[in-house]
Structures are given as structure tokens and as C-alpha cells.
């Protein structure tokens, strides 16, 4: 029968002196105090590894930094792990690595990982997402592990925006945080998306449409555009955007390499589209006429609408807006509102709503159906776009073929 060790006392431990060789003082149940030749005293837990059955030691710390009571508490924890079939050393090392991983996976880090997976959005949109989170969330939450982020913490971070009445920004930031936490759940970083309901803590934003004009005001707009003191490039940019129904940034950044003159198509790559998917625009005879003029003006630039003073760059997406504002349409119309003008007119004329939506590059949530619609509707869209261009042209027939070049104000 093995001899049962008599538990140690603090007095014994304090009075233990070094010898010519290190030696152990047993406290029982695998716990030892190892007294070294240098005089230092280290706690050691001796046990059999569950799988191999080999005897091994696990250091518990130096006395008196680790007291007798703390050493016994650690022994109790290790014995419980052994009873569950765990090797204490391996189990604790694994836990330490997991804790380090948790500490490393801060909200900022997980946001970066999430953005890397967002191949469905443009680089510009990704920068917008990162900028909004960097400004409104990261100062207070960026350094916190994703596992520690709570709904209350997120709501408190966003609340200043709500107090400023920026409900649209609140909605966007909430949506982005929810998606980031969803990504963390799907990749095993958290067990649940605890931020799912944070939008409910704020008032829903009232949807604001871009200012636009009524279809009946199109002739006056065309006339004002022809008389405006703006550069020819700016005037043609506005006309091109009006005819093609694209977004301001998509028109301003048009490249000659995207134009298929043989098939009269403008193929915009997904990297330049809001939804991250390629968009094909049938080019009417009026669009091709605009492009013919810009071929002369662009002077071999890679961009259809080159900037005046930026070398190889293109005009700003805000160029059309500024021109429309100077034309006297401040508060009444913005360049993005030209899309709404086209949509309203085409709907009133009885064109199919789904074809109009495809022409506006409003993506279908069903990606298979969305892809099918883009291909299937191309001919019908071409016919609709031809009607729209003819309608624009007929809005002021006396100006057909006349273009006034004025210096930019």
C-alpha cells in the first residue's frame, strides 16, 4: 500500500533549505514543492497522461508567488480535468491559444476579414463601408474582441448619430454591424448574432428620393442645358447620363475600352457598378453621336469624359450636379434624379416595369433570375432606350444637332 504523504505547512515550506541536489517535498495527490540548489522553490504537479499512460510533470509556478492554497486549487482543477479524460497541460495550452485568438479577433480585425470576402461590391463601396465604421464605431468598439460586443455596446456607439438626426447613417451602420456579426457567426468566431435586433432601438429613417423634375419639364431642362455656361464635355456628360439612365459615377468614369461600337453596347464591368455585377447598356443613335463628339474632345484619353486639369483622370461624379445646380435647379433636380425622370416617363408610357428596373441596374435578389433578365431583356431594352432617346430629342427639336460651346464658369 503506497505511503500517503502528509500535507505540507507554510512553515515547512518557508524553512525548506537548499541542498547539494534539488529535492521534492510532497503535499499529496501529485502535488510537490521542488527545492532547487539555488534556493528557489517551484510547485510541480505529477500525473499520468490519459492516453499514453506516461508519467509527466506540470509546473504550477514559483513559491511564494504561488501560495500553498493556490497550488492546491490548481491541483484540484487538474485532477478534475484528468477525471474528464483531458491532459491538463494540453487542455490549458489549447485554452490559452483560444483566448489569444479571441483577443486578436477584435471588431476591427473581423471587419477587415469580412470586407475581404465582399467580392460582390465595388472597391469604392467597400471604402465607404470602412469609412463609416471607422468614423462612427471603431473609436469606441474597434479594439474589443468580437465575442465581447453586446447589443447595448453597439447601440451606445451609434446613439450619437441618432441624436444628431442622421437616421439614414444610423440605419446603414446598424446593417453593417449586423452583417459583420453574422460573418463572425458563420466563421465560428461567435455562437450567435447578438446584434440582429439593434435597429429596433432607433427610429426607422424616412426614405428620401433624389430631387427630380416632372416629365412635362423635360423640354425646358433640355433648353436650359443647351444655353448653360458649361463646358461641352460637361454638357455631353449630362446628356449621355440622361440617355443611358446610369448613375452619375458610372457615366463620369466611362472608359473607351467599355464601348462596343460594332454592337452598339456599353459594357460596364462589375467593379464599377454599385451591385458589383456587370451592366450592359444598349447605345442608341443619339448616344453614339455623343460618343463621336467626345472622341474628338477626349484627345486619346482612356476616359470618355476626361478631366480638364487632372491629366489622365476622368471628370468628377459631382460635375453634372454642380452644372445642374448652376442652371437654376438647386433643390429641384440632381444628376441622380435624371434616372427617376426616365423611370417615371417610361412607366407612364406603359413600358414593362421589370425591363425598366433592369435598365436602371436595380439588381434582382434572385441572382439566377437577375442574370437571365439582363440577357433576355437586352433586345427589349434596346427598343425602350431608342424610344427614350427619341423622346429626349423631340423635347426640343429646334436644338437638334446644335451644340453651344461655352467656357466653364
SS3 content of the chain, % helix, strand, coil (to 5): 55, 10, 35
CA dihedral sign of residues 386, 289, 247, 211: negative
Q: Are strands 265-268 and 279-282 parallel, antiparallel or unpaired?
A: antiparallel
DSSP character for 315?
A: -
Nearest to 161 by CA among 121, 202, 114: 202
C-alpha span between 356 and 380 (Å, rounded): 10
355 pLDDT higher than 70 = yes
pLDDT at 286 (0 to 100): 94
What is the chain's length? Answer: 409
C-alpha span between 210 and 161 (Å, rounded): 22
Burial 312-334 (b: 16+ CB within 10 A, else e): eebbbbebbbebbbebebeeebb
* Cell triple for 9: 505547512
Q: Domain 106-187, CATH 1.10.150.130 — does that match? A: yes
Residue 245 is inside which H or E element, if any?
A: none
pLDDT at 3 (0 to 100): 64
CATH superfamily label, 10-99? Integrase, DNA-binding domain (3.30.160.390)
Quick check: helix, strand or coil at residue 260?
A: strand
∠ CA 131-116-253, nearest 5°, is: 60
372 pLDDT higher than 90 = no
Active site (catalytic) residues: 247, 274, 336, 339, 362, 372
Beta carbons of 238 and 227 less than 8 angstroms apart: no
Domain ranges of the chain: 10-99, 106-187, 215-406
Residue 303: Cβ within 10 Å count: 19
Q: How many angstroms separate the most distant Cα atoms in the chain?
A: 116
Q: Dihedral, CA atoms, 386, 387, 392, 397, nearest 10 degrees? A: 100
* Cell triple for 277: 455585377
Model pTM above 0.85: no
Residue 75 is inside which H or E element, if any?
A: helix 68-83
213 pLDDT higher than 60 = yes
pLDDT bin (cut points 50, 70, 90) of residue 136 is very high
More confident residue, 174 or 206: 174
pLDDT bin (cut points 50, 70, 90) of residue 406 is very low
CATH code for 215-406?
A: 1.10.443.10
397 pLDDT higher than 80 = no
2 pLDDT higher than 70 = no
pLDDT at 405 (0 to 100): 40
Residue 140: Cβ within 10 Å count: 15
pLDDT at 402 (0 to 100): 43
Beta carbons of 298 and 305 less than 8 angstroms apart: yes
C-alpha span between 137 and 159 (Å, rounded): 10
Amino acid at each position: 500500500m503506497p505511503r500517503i504523504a502528509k500535507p505540507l505547512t507554510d512553515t515547512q515550506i518557508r524553512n525548506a533549505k537548499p541542498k547539494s541536489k534539488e529535492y521534492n517535498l510532497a503535499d499529496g495527490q501529485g502535488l510537490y514543492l521542488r527545492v532547487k540548489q539555488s534556493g528557489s522553490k517551484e510547485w510541480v504537479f505529477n500525473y499520468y497522461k490519459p492516453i499514453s499512460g506516461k508519467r509527466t510533470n506540470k509546473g504550477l509556478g514559483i513559491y511564494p508567488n504561488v501560495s500553498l492554497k493556490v497550488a492546491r486549487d490548481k491541483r484540484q482543477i487538474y485532477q478534475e480535468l484528468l477525471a474528464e479524460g483531458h491532459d491538463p497541460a494540453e487542455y490549458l495550452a489549447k485554452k490559452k491559444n483560444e483566448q489569444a485568438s479571441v483577443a486578436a479577433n477584435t471588431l476591427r480585425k473581423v471587419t477587415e476579414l469580412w470586407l475581404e470576402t465582399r467580392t460582390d461590391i465595388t472597391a469604392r463601396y467597400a471604402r465607404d463601408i470602412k469609412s463609416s465604421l471607422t468614423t462612427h464605431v471603431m473609436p469606441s468598439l474597434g479594439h474589443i474582441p468580437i465575442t465581447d460586443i453586446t447589443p447595448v455596446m453597439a447601440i451606445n456607439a451609434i446613439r450619437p448619430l441618432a441624436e444628431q438626426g442622421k437616421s439614414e447613417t444610423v440605419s446603414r451602420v446598424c446593417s453593417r454591424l449586423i452583417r459583420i456579426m453574422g460573418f463572425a457567426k458563420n466563421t465560428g468566431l461567435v455562437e450567435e448574432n447578438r446584434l440582429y435586433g439593434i435597429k429596433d432601438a432607433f427610429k426607422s429613417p424616412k426614405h428620401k428620393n433624389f430631387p427630380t423634375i416632372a416629365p412635362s419639364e423635360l423640354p425646358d431642362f433640355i433648353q436650359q442645358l443647351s444655353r448653360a455656361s458649361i463646358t461641352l464635355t460637361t454638357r455631353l456628360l449630362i446628356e449621355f447620363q440622361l440617355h443611358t439612365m446610369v448613375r452619375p459615377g458610372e457615366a463620369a468614369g466611362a472608359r473607351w475600352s467599355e464601348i462596343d461600337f460594332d454592337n452598339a453596347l456599353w459594357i460596364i464591368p462589375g467593379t464599377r457598378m454599385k451591385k458589383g455585377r456587370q451592366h450592359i447598356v444598349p447605345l442608341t443613335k443619339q448616344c453614339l453621336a455623343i460618343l463621336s463628339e467626345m472622341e474628338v474632345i477626349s484627345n486619346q484619353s482612356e476616359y470618355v469624359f476626361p478631366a480638364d486639369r487632372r491629366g489622365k483622370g476622368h471628370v468628377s461624379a459631382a460635375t453634372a450636379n454642380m452644372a445642374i445646380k448652376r442652371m437654376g435647379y438647386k433643390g429641384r433636380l440632381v444628376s441622380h434624379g435624371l434616372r427617376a425622370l426616365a423611370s417615371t416617363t417610361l412607366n407612364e408610357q406603359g413600358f414593362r416595369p421589370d425591363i425598366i428596373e433592369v435598365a436602371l441596374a436595380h439588381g434582382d435578389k434572385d441572382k439566377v433570375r437577375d442574370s437571365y433578365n439582363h440577357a433576355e431583356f437586352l433586345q427589349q431594352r434596346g427598343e425602350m432606350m431608342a424610344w427614350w432617346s427619341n423622346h429626349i430629342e423631340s423635347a426640343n427639336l429646334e436644338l437638334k444637332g446644335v451644340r453651344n460651346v461655352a467656357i466653364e464658369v
